Structure 1
Amino acid sequence: MVDEGAAEQDRAPARVLLQGEPDGWHCVVVDGAGGERRSDLPGAGTRWSTGGRADPEPPWWRRRLAETAEGLRESVGQRLTDAAFREFGAEAVITWFAVDEPVAWEGLVTLKEADPARFPGRVAPFVITLEPGRGALLPQANLLFSTHAPDAWTTLTTIAERCGTPPPKSSFLCGWADHRSVRVGRGTLALSTDRGEDGVERLAEICGTRAPGWSGNPELRFRLDGIDLLDQPAGDVTALLRELGHEIVTRGRTVRLAASGLTLYRPGEADRFTAVSLQPPAALGALRIL
């Protein structure tokens, strides 16, 4: 008689190896029976290339490798836990250890109970209601275009604490005084600030991104006029907005509501929008591409 529990344990992931090499990155998932599955990962290789010249690696090169490895660890973790849920009805949690930082990592995998947000209706979504010309309404907070920069960053920190995600991340984005983002589930809420004619730095753009697939806990949603902008097929969203009287300007896979300062982005062959940005209409100049 076959022990189904033992057989399932043998098939379950036990370890993950992440390796960066001169020609690229890959990971190897090792199951309980020692079986291995290798996957090549997106991303440039680890060798500093100067077109044949013998220039030394620049001081920032290792930091770049560390950032690449961090992003790939997160991506591998999401892919593995999604696969574990489909196959075993459980989440896969990876505890990473550096083998040769920053280019080689080993992770120990533990299966735990499925996240309740996997099941519709079990966890309330994190809904951001966009109000063109004014800003956005959040659960227990508002982000208005009149908001001073320090208050906007405080709001992001509060969101991170509430959602149990890392603190806001600051990054350089050309054209803005400052740009910071925070994770909400598997989505991202980002804010950009600019200085007005009075020299005061205020909120100037609200952006949200969410990749296809499970949206994490909590699910990040963006609504305008009662429409979930990132949840319905892009064609349906565009048609509904047009029916509500919005003037639609389409350029490739980008949809812009000319009078509202709202832009929706749909990459590649995706059937849904994966990003949205809102600016005060008067601030819109050249179209910004995420």
Structure 2
Amino acid sequence: MMNNRPTFWDRSYELGDDVKLELGKRTLIMGILNATPDSFSDGGRYMNVERALEHAHEMVEAGADILDIGGESTRPGYEAVSPEEELKRVLPVITAVREALPHVALSIDTYKAATARHALEAGAHIINDIWGLKGDPDMAAVAAEYGCPVIISHNRHSRDYNDLVPDVLADLRSSIGIAQAAGIADDRVWLDPGIGFAKTHDDNLAMLGRLSELTALGYPVLLGTSRKRFIRQTLNLPVEELVEGTAATVTLGIAHGCQIVRVHDVRAIKRTALMADAILYRA
């Protein structure tokens, strides 16, 4: 159990005035705040700044430690938007949330360096890059310049795996190499297995069953499974009825060593994490 947990789990991040994250004490909850018209689960609901701010308050009250703000849907078949359009969507939300909730860590969900830079200047603290520093050649330099944590997600353009999990780990090691070459400190790198990205239904299930191989790399791991298609397909349920399925994947992820979970249903998953933590984070 956790009395033998790795020492690298104990990390503290001072991200700004009154903004602090501690790993190794409990599972951190990242709430999803999409300022997009076409996200698969909540597209169009939080395009208005006032509604987005209201939802931010709701998620923090429900237990969110981090708010992940994004301006481009990354659902299967999504259409890319320009940095200008992305910034038009996210900057007013970041500014409003930063002012109203100054103690809450904010993440910018983008693979574009220009968007990341402007978001960090506006008050974001973390970069969440679904392309693992490979989508924009300038992203690693931005992360290094600001010294912020960067979430490196697994992704690729095709599913031509020779052996799924070793290939995923190799891809992530490649991204880690990009981070190191740019001067990003190792303790600023977080990993994400990229559930739902360039993976089939069976690939996602297989990856979830072997998450301990990812957490063994020695980096904090974020798990993002919330309401994703493979859960919908497994349970044969609509997107609004996937809380229990998401909770099952979160519990499994925590058991495998994931320290941050990215979710839509903050209140329910916070309770799920509290129960798992009570078992797994014992002294």
Normalising by the smaller structure, the TM-score range is under 0.3
Higher relative contact order (CA 8 A, sep 6+): 2
1 or 2, which has the higher helix percentage?
Answer: 2
User: With structure 1 as the length reference, what TM-score do the two structures score?
Assistant: 0.25
User: With structure 2 as the length reference, what TM-score do the two structures score?
Assistant: 0.25
1 or 2, which has the higher strand percentage?
Answer: 1
